[in-house]
Amino acid sequence: GALGSDGSEEGPVETFLTSFEDSDLGMEGVALVDLGPAGVSWAQSWACRGKVTCLEVLPPAGSAGAACEAWAGTALGDVCRIRVSPDRSGDNCDNEADSAMAEEDFASARVHRGVVASVDVNRQTGQVLSAGYDGRVCLHHASAHGGLGRPTVHHCTGGAVSYSAVKWCSGDVFLTAGCGVDHFVGLQTWDRRTRGDKVAGSFTLLEVNNASASHSPGGSGAGAAGGEGGLILCVDVHPFRPHVCATGHEGGLVALWDLRREDRPLQCNRLDASSPSPAATGSPS
């Protein structure tokens, strides 16, 4: 994730947080790097227990000089919180995970029993969601002084469903995507104000071809595992229309949804590498 840009005598320099894996050192984690005309410069890194499977970066907010924050999930079930100070400098840092790092700048906790598939930060409340292959959705309340605090297990399927993505829509509504052991789950909406840990709505593609696109309203989408939609790999929500979201599926399918409707997606595009342009079905409304 990009944190910002700065200038130098050689030209503009952009700063990024990215996951890394160093097989020589046997280290995996998150790295802070600068990208400029001279190439990539390693500034700082944080070692995580296991391969980083997801990373969410929040640019600095408020006044200049504010710290930025990042959340990461690992293949072993850890959720990590990283705070990057604005006065950091890569000039005196070695390529080691603990270089120039204050204790409160990094926190990690084993939250899931397996791969953490997705993390997302609520820009309104600061609350963080994590979803994993273990079928758990956890809510994290970050401490202002660093650390993770004690997470709340918002929902647990007991392994009957594996979650592949999670995304906030608003201060209280969020989406999950996943797949069940013997049925296809697809996209689900949750409203913490009224339904607790009960699903508010379910959207599952049953069939997608050049002529039609449909889903099972209000249900779990049983029987859809053999459909052409495929597992949802990622979800994104329109920044100004929280009822509109897009899902990316296995097989190159991208679907656009209106969460107020329960009849069919607004549009589906299948990205075919052999075709010069994507094939679309449905019509936006």
Q: How many domains does the chain contain in total?
A: 2
- pLDDT tens string 221-235: 322 333 456 788 999
Model pLDDT, residue 98: 43
Residues 175 and 142 in one domain: no
Residues 120 and 242 in one domain: no
Residues 4 and 52 in one domain: yes
Q: What CATH number did the domain enclosing 31 receive?
A: 2.130.10.10
Residues 5 and 126 in one domain: yes
Residues 271 and 152 in one domain: no
Q: How far apart are CA 256 and CA 248, in angstroms?
A: 9
pLDDT at residue 17 above 80? yes
Residues 138 and 90 in one domain: yes
Residues 133 and 206 in one domain: no
SS3 call for 62: coil
Residues 19 and 63 in one domain: yes
Domain ends where: 159, 177, 196?
159
**Whole-model pTM above 0.75?**
yes
Domain carrying residue 40: 1-159
Q: How far apart are CA 116 and CA 281, in angstroms?
A: 33
Q: Which residues contact 176 (CB under 8 A, 6 or more apart)?
A: 131, 137, 163, 165, 166, 187, 188, 190
Residue matched to tokens 């607004």: 266
- pLDDT tens string 141-167: 876 656 677 788 888 888 788 999 999
- pLDDT tens string 81-118: 998 875 554 333 444 444 444 556 888 999 999 999 99
- pLDDT tens string 178-220: 887 666 668 888 888 876 666 767 666 544 433 233 333 333 3
